Structure 1
Amino acid sequence: MSAAPHPTTVVLPEPINVSPLIRFGRWAALGAGVIYGAVRLHQIKEYHADIRQWQHEKAVVAAEEAAKKKKWLAKDEMRYLMQVVNLPFEEGVKQFGVTDLYKDE
């Protein structure tokens, strides 16, 4: 008695013999693609590193300008407050404790 195959068994046909030249060509194409991808990735990384460096320098300059503007606004605000309170400049600087704002003057 031979056992009948299960009804859900998948029967595959015999594999096709592929020429060694075609097999070599496939592997060569795969290797060339991997090498090209690695080289291209290296090029893109260098390009984007330059862009990130430029963006960082731009952000540093913008932060410095914002800090200067903030200091100028604080100075103007203190001068206005001293005028409203009717304090002399030197006395107002000492009372408000803002001598660090006026060090360069």
Structure 2
Amino acid sequence: MADLAAPVRVSPLIRFGRWGLLSAGILYGMFHQGRLSRKEAAIREIELKQKAIRDEKLAKEKKLASEREIKELESLAGIKS
């Protein structure tokens, strides 16, 4: 095995800077995640309301299309209603 040199002692200022930036990054990440979560929850709530309206509209359109198709089939078959 090769002899390795002794590790270099890191300055306390550099060590403090590293740990300080790591801590700041973690705190920023927590803040940013919370902010994005609240924003996304509001968007989901709006989309849920719009989905109910959209589903109701699609159901009405489907019902009208079904009724039109039935009338067309009756006229093709010669059935009077």
Shared fold (TM-score, shorter chain, > 0.5): yes
TM-score if structure 1 supplies the norm length?
0.61
Match of 2:25 among 28, 33, 39: 33
Aligned equivalent of 2:79: 85
Match of 2:11 among 11, 19, 41: 19
Aligned equivalent of 1:3: none
1:62–1:10 Cα change, 3 Å: farther
Larger-gyration structure (1/2): 1
* Match runs of 1:32-71 below 5 Å: 32-71=24-63
RMSD of equivalent CA atoms? 2.0
TM-score if structure 2 supplies the norm length?
0.75
Structure number with the higher helix fraction is: 2
Aligned equivalent of 1:97: none
Q: Percent of pairs identical after alignment?
A: 34
- Ranked by relative contact order (alpha carbons within 8 Å, sequence separation 6 or more), the top structure is 1
Residue 53 of structure 2 aligns with an amino acid whose one-letter code is V
Unaligned runs of 5+ in 1: 1-8, 89-105
